[in-house]
Amino acid sequence: MSNPLLDLPLLPPFDRLQPEHVEPAIAELIDQCRAQLKEGLQEPGWDSTLAPLEEAQDRLNRAFSPVSHLNSVLSGPWRAPYEAALARVTAYWTELGQNRDLYKLYQQLAEAPEFASWPQARRKAVELGLRDFILSGVALEGEDRDRFAANSRRLAELSSRFANNVLDATSAWTWHTEDEAELSGLPQTALAAAKAAAETKALDGWLLTLEGPSYLAVMTHADNRELREEVHKAFVSRASETGPNGCEFDNSAVMEEILHLRAEQAMLLGMANYAELSLASKMAQDNDRVLEFLNDLAARSRPAAQQEFDQLQEFAAEKLGLDRLRPWDIAWAAEKLKQERYALSQEALRPYFPYEKVQTGLFAVVEKLFGIRVEADIGVPGWHGDVQFFWVTRGGERIAGFYLDAFAREKKRGGAWMDSVSTRRQTADGLQLPIAYLVCNFSSPVAGKPSLLTHYEVTTLFHEFGHGLHHMLTRVDVAAVSGINGVAWDAVELPSQFLENWCWQPEAIAMISGHFETGEPLPQALLDKMLAARNFQSAMFTVRQLEFALFDFKLHCLARGASAAAIQQLLDEVRAQLAVVPVAEENRFQHGFSHIFAGGYAAGYYSYKWAEVLSSDAFSLFEENGIFDSATGGRFLSSILEQGGSRDALDLFTEFRGRTPKIDALLRHSGIEQLELNTNPG
């Protein structure tokens, strides 16, 4: 039987991939990588060793990519083969990172007289390679070396288990009713989705789940307070000992072991804690700098956040009959206050943001900014009927492509993300184009109506497309620093958060909105209300993000990890310092914090705020020159998007902006600057 993973075209043949293809293909491709390395080291050099090794590893990466992706978007039959392949791939990369012969080659290349005249991308790839060798334990000896490798393999396994527990806990809970009165307040879009969910289970009535669209609809709109409480408690206790499934999916022991092993990895490398290890590949210089940044922003934001919450509590008491806001009341009461203050509801905006119109408008926005076109190709097979494929072209020439999987469904990982199918690189046969996955979890079209997005969901689509542009518009052709590869983790959110700004510009909103039935543009009155409400409770949102970031960073500053009880205690301490909203006793946010336990954000969640400083400051130049100014768009393209990881992120930002970043634009865009003035004495 032929194995499509062994001879992959640029676009994976999703219509032919089967779970049984995975293990034999990954095993063979890893063997090929090892053989290529052995052969290349016979005559060490860039062209004789590193270039052919990059080729072999690219085949491995492009085979593992669809396997990892299918596990995220379909799970089920792909979970076991993915986990088996993950173990093999992790072992290979750990082994490679500890190969001293290869490390010596990198050293020799960096020390050679001609190194200074090499192309920038090659030099940076060697410099980052040397750093990564050190962080992979190449200098360790004996038991320490073996222990580091074993820990790396185990950490990959635990991260996958953490994500599986969150997914399974999310899927395991449902709430069913045949009495529509219990769902009073839910908008028609949510009711239609709940009706469709019930039908998939052969049930009458309506079925609520913990998937994002369903959960948010209940918390924001359901008048049934008991229902809000039940759904909220189920959501915030997922994968914990307090969850509705008891300890079946409990992540407590998984978190403990992850933190212990991370701390041990740092200790083996001679570092004080995992946070120090994490920052070795980031812009931030040291732990103190990150904590200073977060605490400074917290000090600026918390008084305003407290003021916002006090106003919400006062409104709830006077208008909603709630003397004391509970955690499951916050979003519901906030929506009521927003409607009173601005006469605006996200549900009123939905009809003007049909998914296809937003998508078409997004493509038009980036065409104006960066001179590219996005064209659909219906002939490319996907993994589900919802999946679309697009080519990115410039001057009629294909330069990249991406898959777009926009809608929520059962057994699909929650949230939104971008990932790589293939990386732009020079091959013996020519230039390999960069291909991306873009994944969201919006409400599906139901009852003959298209998917109608909230404005928050519109910004999510722009955010992920910003990541995609960073991957797809690179002009670097060395894989290690092409696209998002090699980019400092605390700068990787710059393009994504940057692109969100156009969701708030009237000229761009006219391109992404139009009533789903009439095509009527968003009325000026609604637009004015939306813009006026932009910073509604922005300080409360900021301190919530800072709570997550401080918790994450302080957790990874611990020298020996932490028990589940100690993790909870630390989170309680951070909340005491920062939080202004009440928290349910059952809340085990940390048990579902996939960003840091199953993703790449360990000791790095602060990156969202760090990069927001960069993105706000970058956008302020467009505010000065015009939001579609072609020269400014060209500068961002050439200085940021095209450079990938070939140069330091701070140098690239400074090249674009003409100076180092300032925090002023972030405070202004979030409304905190004005709130500071309102809350400061005198």
For residue 108, the model assigns a pLDDT of 97
Beta bridge partners of 175: 208
Q: What pLDDT score was predicted for residue 673?
A: 60
Q: What's the Cα-to-Cα distance from 323 to each of 106, 312, 318, 407, rounded to whole Å?
A: 66, 11, 8, 38
pLDDT of 76 above 60: yes
Those residues with Cβ within 8 angstroms of residue 623's Cβ, 6 or more apart along the chain or in another chain: none
Q: So what's the pLDDT on residue 650?
A: 95
Residue scoring higher pLDDT (346 or 125): 125
| Chain centre to alpha carbon of residue 198 | 30
C-alpha span between 635 and 641 (Å, rounded): 9
Which residue, 147, 150, 154, 226, is CA-closest to 185? 226
The band of 345, judged by pLDDT with boundaries at 50, 70 and 90, is: confident
- SS3 of the chain: helix, strand, coil, percent, to 5: 60, 10, 30
- State the catalytic residue, choosing from 55, 211, 457, 464: 464
Q: Check residue 449 and report its DSSP letter.
A: B
Q: Is 401 helix (H, G, I), strand (E, B) or coil?
A: strand
Structure tokens at 450: 């298209």
Res. 682: pLDDT tops 80: no
Separation between Cα atoms, residue 398 and residue 144, nearest integer Å: 48
Is the pLDDT reported for residue 428 higher than 50?
yes
| Amino acid found at 229 | E
Give pLDDT, residue 143: 97
CB atoms within 10 A of CB 325: 20
pLDDT value, residue 347: 87
Instruction: Indicate if 182 belongs to the active site.
Output: no
Helix axes 120-135, 79-97, angle to 10 degrees: 100
Give me the residues paired with residue 273 across strands. none
The answer to whether residue 672 scores a pLDDT higher than 80 is no
- The pair phi, psi for residue 222, each rounded to 5°, is -70, 125
Domain boundaries, given as residue ranges, for the chain: 19-167, 173-236, 258-342+535-672
Q: Which position has the higher pLDDT, 246 or 407? A: 407
Task: Please report how many Cα atoms fall inside a 13 Å half-sphere around the Cα of residue 319, on the Cβ side.
Answer: 16
Say yes or no to pLDDT of 325 above 60: yes
- pLDDT confidence bin for 679, thresholds 50/70/90: very low
Per-position b or e across 594-604, b if 16+ CB within 10 A of its CB: bbbbbbebbbb
Instruction: Read off the tokens for 77.
Output: 């039959």
Which amino acid, 83?
A: E
Cβ–Cβ contacts within 10 Å for residue 547, how many? 21
Tens digit of pLDDT for each residue in 214-259? 999 999 999 999 999 999 999 999 999 999 988 899 999 999 999 9
pLDDT in tens, 543-579: 999 999 999 999 999 999 999 999 999 999 999 999 9
The Cα-based distances of 358 to 9, 78, 363 in angstroms read 31, 32, 9
If pLDDT is split at 50, 70 and 90, which confidence band does 678 have? very low
Q: Is the dihedral of CA 290, 296, 299, 300 positive or negative?
A: negative
* Amino acid at residue number 154: R
Residues 336/319, Cβ–Cβ less than 8 Å: yes
For the segment 13-25, what is each residue's pLDDT rounded down to a tens digit?
Answer: 999 999 999 999 9
The whole-angstrom separation of Cα 545 and Cα 587 is 16
Q: What average pLDDT score do residues 140-167 get?
A: 97
The tokens of 402 are what? 């991406």
Residue 567, judged by CB atoms within 10 A of its CB (0-12, 13-18, 19+), counts as buried
Does the pLDDT at position 75 exceed 70? yes
Tokens read off for 523: 């009325």
Task: List, for residues 28-46, the tens digit of each pLDDT value.
Answer: 999 999 999 999 999 999 9
How do residues 461-506 score in pLDDT, each as one tens digit? 999 999 999 999 999 999 999 999 999 998 999 999 999 999 999 9
pLDDT tens digit sequence for 583-629: 999 999 999 999 999 999 999 999 999 999 999 999 999 999 999 99
Angle at 506 between CA 503 and CA 509, to 5 degrees: 50
Label residues 177-211 b or e (16+ Cβ within 10 Å = b). Answer: beeeebbebbbebbbbbbbbbbeeeeeeebbbbbb
Kindly indicate the confidence band of residue 680, based on its pLDDT and cuts at 50, 70 and 90.
Answer: very low
Residue 175, helix vs strand vs coil: strand
- Residue 107's Cβ-count burial label (10 Å; 0-12, 13-18, 19+) is middle
At a CB cut-off of 8 Å and minimum separation 6, what does 71 contact? 78, 79, 82
Tell me which DSSP letter residue 523 carries: P
Please give the residue that has the higher pLDDT: either 277 or 674.
Answer: 277
pLDDT at site 636: 98
Place of tokens 């990198």: 106
Please state, in angstroms and rounded to a whole number, the distance separating the CA atoms of residues 607 and 604: 5
Average pLDDT, the chain: 95
The residues, ordered by sequence, that sit 6+ positions from 222 with a Cβ below 8 Å of its Cβ are 183, 184, 185, 186, 228, 231, 332
Does domain 258-342+535-672 match CATH 1.10.1370.10?
yes
